[in-house]
Structure 1
Amino acid sequence: MAIKRHNDGGRLVVTYQTFGIVDGDDWPLDDPGQGNGLVHPCGHGALVYAGIHTGPVEVQAVSREQPHDRIDDSRPWQEVAEVSVTAPTGYLRIRSFEDVVPLPTLGAAGPGTYRVRVYADGRDTDIDGAVRAPVKHYRIEVWPAPCADDVIHRRTAAGAGGSPLARKHASI
């Protein structure tokens, strides 16, 4: 059984199609590449492609001591993927370029490597648009673990090949 450290959430304003699970206060400037279309490891955390260009999204975050033994089914998640991230300071938090969800750190085990599982719903709604109310919902689960390959647990969204930004990079 996976023990939760905390389970909380909030609204986050997304800009430039992304938000992140970032270690520290600096926004990652390195290009995470094409990745799996949903979540992409970067130098000190991971970037999530939100589907919208600008606007609020709902984000729930869960910090665990170990992975949950099954995929969350609290809502009809269209995409579920997980990646490994490095947290040099252990201060993982959810943020966008301009906004931060006020939660305790997700890197509760301190500096090291973590698995980040991202759930997404609503990614086919208003792709690359600007919204005033949340149409995208995300759940982020984080636990300490050694580095491992990306895992795609579910991909049912029509736009599941990635964000418009990821598709643009793939076509170059």
Structure 2
Amino acid sequence: MTKPARTATADLYVDYGHFSVTDYGADVPELRPAYANGLVGADSSGASVLTGTATGEVTVTVQLLDAEPGSIELDSWDEVSEVSLDSAEGFLLVHNMMDGPPRELGELAYVGPGTYRLRVHARGRDIAPHSHADTPREHYQISAWPAPETPPTVHKQTDRYGHEVRARETEL
């Protein structure tokens, strides 16, 4: 397995049931691409990660890798999907719509501008979906590494919230 160059964890306040990964100062990405797999989607602005929590705290861990991990951790996660994301500025940050990014997480595009692969893991979205969380109930892990652009990949889909989101996407 590829050893992370850096791992960091922070609590992140989410608004409107999602958070983003974008270059500093970029527009908020569209949510629609994330509906397809129920977890994460990317457009030219960045990536959106859908949360069960409507507003409140979630815990996010980032792992910065030099290359694709040799294995995929599935056992302790409910949903796992990957997307490619171009970082024109080389300054990808995890943030919500209103606040700045948590300093502890740092930047994800740590080798500079280019295309990155984001593998997003989620658990806990079924605990109290569509509600407010004063303390984190949901956990996310974002593994990021430089890689050529490839189509989105789904590794695991088992939570009810993701199923609800995917069903909603087919109605749009």
Q: CA deviation at 1:61?
A: 0.4
Q: 1:21: which partner in 2?
A: 21
* Aligned-residue offset at 1:31: 5.0
Aligned partner of residue 86 in structure 2, secondary structure: strand
Aligned length: 169
After superposition, the Cα gap between the structure-2 partners of 1:131 and 1:17, relative to the gap in structure 1 and judged at 3 Å, is same
Residues of 1 paired with 2:94 and 2:27: CA distance?
11
CA distance in 2 between partners of 1:162 and 1:140 (Å): 22
- The reply to whether residue 95 of structure 1 matches residue 87 of structure 2 is no
Q: How do 1:86-165 and structure 2 match up within 5 A?
A: 86-99=86-99, 100-102=101-103, 103-161=105-163, 163=165
Change (3 A) 1:87 1:18: same
Task: Return closer, same or farther for 1:32/1:168 CA change in 2, 3 Å cut-off.
Answer: closer
Segments of 4+ moved more than 6 angstroms: none
SS of the residue corresponding to residue 160 of structure 1 reads helix
Q: Assess if the C-alpha contact under 8 Å between 2:29 and 2:45 holds in 1.
A: no
Q: 1:14 and 1:167 mapped to 2: Cα distance?
A: 23
Question: Corresponding residue for 1:65?
Answer: 66
Task: Determine which structure has the larger helix proportion and give its number.
Answer: 2
In the aligned structure 2, how far is the partner of 1:137 from the partner of 1:106? Answer: 18
Looking at structure 1, the residues matched to 168 and 70 of structure 2 have their Cα atoms a distance apart, in angstroms, of 35
Letter in 2 for 1:86: D
When residues 64 and 13 of structure 1 are mapped into structure 2, their CA distance, relative to the original with a 3 A threshold, is same
RMSD after superposition: 1.8
For normalisation by structure 2, the TM-score amounts to: 0.89
Contact 1:28 1:42 in 2 (8 A): no
Gaps of at least 5 residues in structure 2 are none
For 2:16 and 2:67, the matched residues in 1 are separated by 32
1:102-147 per-residue CA deviation (whole Å, 9 max, x = no partner) reads: 1221101211111000000001121111111111100000000001
Q: Is 1:4–1:64's contact at 8 Å kept on the other side of the alignment?
A: yes
User: What is the CA–CA distance in structure 1 between the aligned matches of 2:66 and 2:76, rounded to whole Å?
Assistant: 25
How far residue 36 of structure 1 moved from its aligned partner, in angstroms, is 1.3
Structure 1: segments with no counterpart, 5+ residues: none
Q: Kindly provide the amino acid, as one letter, of the partner of residue 71 in structure 2.
A: R
